[in-house]
Amino acid sequence: MAGYGSRVEHWIVTAGSARLETVVTVRGADVRFDTAIDGANYAEGRSGGLRWRRTPNELVRVIASDVQGDDLDRWPLAFFPYAASDCAVIGETSTAPAAWVVEYRAAHDSPHWFFVDESTGHVVREIFREGSRNVTFAFSDFRSGEGGVRPNAWHVSGAGGDADVTIAGIVPQAVAADVVAIPPSHTALAQFSGPSAVVPAIFNRDRITIDSVVNGHPGRFFLDTGTTQILIDEGAARNFGLKPILGHAIVHRLSTGSITFDDLAAETVSLEGFGVDGILGNDYFVGHIMHVDYRHSHADVLPEEGFVPPPGTMEVVANFDEGMPLVPAVIGDVETSRVALDTGSADVLVLRPLSGFNPSTFDRLGIGHGGVVGRLRFLEGAIGFEYAPASKIEFAGFLFLHNQIRIEAPWSGDAVDFPIDAIFGTQVLDQFEWWYDYDRGQIWIRPAQ
């Protein structure tokens, strides 16, 4: 049993006409998944309790705040160690065969539910939710082995479509710690010449739209600091000549003005209703300084090397490890370090982790009460919100009084489960001129003039 905790497994994944192999490397509670798609290697895993992803461009991010969904995250956790303190028995099934339902909620993971057959003690089913995406694993072909009894096959259903997985081999062996550690990130993706390059951006109230060229075809994209990857609409992907497998494809060339990216990894999703062909997220921002000037409707990129913050700017503490800028702020009298700066949103939105839907917390936050207005649509799903007055917001030494904000309502639409406390959209962002340095975790701002 002790040796079985360190091992390499080979899984065969069949989804439609696609047949892929995933190599699973396990060392205690740490695990890494490597999948080759069309000659490109995608990796993700869990290390020290943190989940992470790496694209074929070797861009790595921690995904604690990323609930945007990824078909390559559809791996069951029932095979791997998880802390009992993160689990609770919440009931049993009402239909045969009888099964206990164990809920798993860890600080840095999506919620999972394990269904344990009461007669055998085997986990026969697992469900997890990432954003509004629900995925079910139905286990079969249980066999005894060195690690005990475990399934050797399972069917995946739900978000991302159906797939079948079989275990082709399990090899207990020593695994070095660095093999399953979070790998270093490579961020030199964009190419441009000269001291700067203008981004062909069109500024609207809550959106920045960019004219782009994808594999020689024109397209329109949102520039979005709140998105952790490059996303392309499924229909637009076909027009661009892409043939995604499990929602992943490599774009031969993407250009925005004189800024170009070659062999860029992208995910394909449905962007119906957003009115664009794609979204330029984290991958577009790394490797250079991104400058955004709302008052003059201007955006450009600058080389990191030799960059000196312009006169009159001040630095903002930020964390980019999760693929989006998370900054500290004070809402009412509550301090938080998990406010997402989102160029793709319009307003200030206070989310469930901060408010808890608790009226006493609203009072402490300095937030009044309003009526439920409707839903806000995000890539992760739709959430219910209400407008409410907020007495004050403090950010980067600036004080905003008498704010009209949105708060997540008790009915939460698609149960998005954002693991962040709040979102600052253009209601805050357009008060400043911005310089983002994703690689060094720095932001500089200057009051808009």
Distance of CA 144 to CAs 148, 149, 150, 152, Å? 5, 4, 7, 10
Residue labelled with tokens 């500290």: 328
Give pLDDT, residue 2: 41
134, pLDDT greater than 70: yes
Q: Which of 10-24, 31-45, 403-417 has the lowest mean pLDDT?
A: 403-417
Instruction: Determine whether 87 is exposed, middle or buried from the number of CB atoms within 10 Å of its CB (0-12, 13-18, 19+).
Output: middle
Specify the long-range contacts of residues 175-180, CB closer than 8 Å, at least 24 apart: 175/6, 175/7, 175/8, 175/25, 175/26, 175/27, 176/27, 177/27, 177/30, 179/25, 179/27, 179/32, 180/25, 180/26, 180/27, 180/30, 180/31, 180/32, 180/45, 180/47
Q: What percent of the chain has pLDDT over 90?
A: 67
Stated pTM of the model: 0.91
Give pLDDT, residue 413: 59
The pLDDT tens digits for 335-389 are 899 999 999 999 999 988 887 767 667 777 777 766 667 888 888 888 888 888 8
* Average pLDDT of the residues in 38-64: 92
Q: 383 versus 140: which is more confidently predicted?
A: 140
Pairwise CA distance, residues 128 & 139, whole Å: 14
Give pLDDT, residue 332: 82
**Single-letter amino acid, residue 156:** V
- State yes or no: cis peptide before 184, omega within 30 of 0: no
Sketch out the chain's domains with CATH numbers. 3-179 (2.50.20.10), 190-302 (2.40.70.10), 314-447 (2.40.70.10)
Going by C-alpha positions, the residue among 292, 329, 335 that lies closest to residue 429 is 292
Q: How far from each other are the two terminal CA atoms of the chain, in whole angstroms?
A: 66
Give the pair of three-digit tokens for residue 20.
């892929």
Give pLDDT, residue 331: 87
Q: Which of 297-301, 340-344, 366-370, 433-437 has the lowest mean pLDDT?
A: 366-370
Residue 47, phi then psi, degrees to nearest 5: -140, 125
Sequence-ordered list of residues with C-beta below 8 angstroms from that of 130, at least 6 positions apart, any chain = 67, 69, 70, 73, 110, 159
Going by C-alpha positions, the residue among 373, 379, 365 that lies closest to residue 418 is 379
Residue 424, phi then psi, degrees to nearest 5: -105, 115
Q: What percent of the chain has pLDDT over 70?
A: 95
Average pLDDT taken over every residue of the chain:
90
Instruction: Determine whether 423 is exposed, middle or buried from the number of CB atoms within 10 Å of its CB (0-12, 13-18, 19+).
Output: buried
Pairwise CA distance, residues 395 & 332, whole Å: 11
Give pLDDT, residue 4: 55
Give pLDDT, residue 341: 97
